[in-house]
Amino acid sequence: MSLVARYLERNGIPTMVMGAAKDIVEWAGVPRFLFSDFPLGNSAGKPGEPDTQRFTLDLALKVFESAVGPRTTVQSPLRWTDDGDWKQDYNNLARMPPEEVASRRAEFDKVKQVARDQRQKAGVA
């Protein structure tokens, strides 16, 4: 997404990136970036919380309008949790019960099988 944003900007189309992987997005050099210190995949706000999602979108639009120069990064004031412990727990296999690891593995294997079946059906190796 970051490279697409840069391409669009070079061609006169302004962009705004909302993301949760600050190091990656900033390294790619996007023109305007709203960083949410949330788990990956949640940069638009907390799931099931339209208020945080609305706040995040409003903030992104404000950054879009007010960025003073290229490579502008603004960090959302929202927090996933008050203490930040989610960073230690989020998808950390060492902290997951074995049943949760097995369940996630089984789901991942199902998705891989669907992809294999679709490739086979399409005649793609």
- pLDDT tens sequence across 47-74: 999 999 999 999 999 999 998 877 999 9
- Reference 40, options 60, 16, 21, 24; nearest CA is 21
**Domain coordinates in residue numbering, the chain:** 2-81, 91-125
Cα dihedral 97, 101, 106, 110 in deg (nearest 10) = 140
**What is the 8-class DSSP label of residue 48?**
T
pTM of the shown model: 0.70
* Residue 35: its H or E element: strand 32-35
Q: Are 78 and 60 in contact (CB under 8 A)?
A: no
pLDDT in tens, 75-97: 999 999 888 777 777 677 888 88
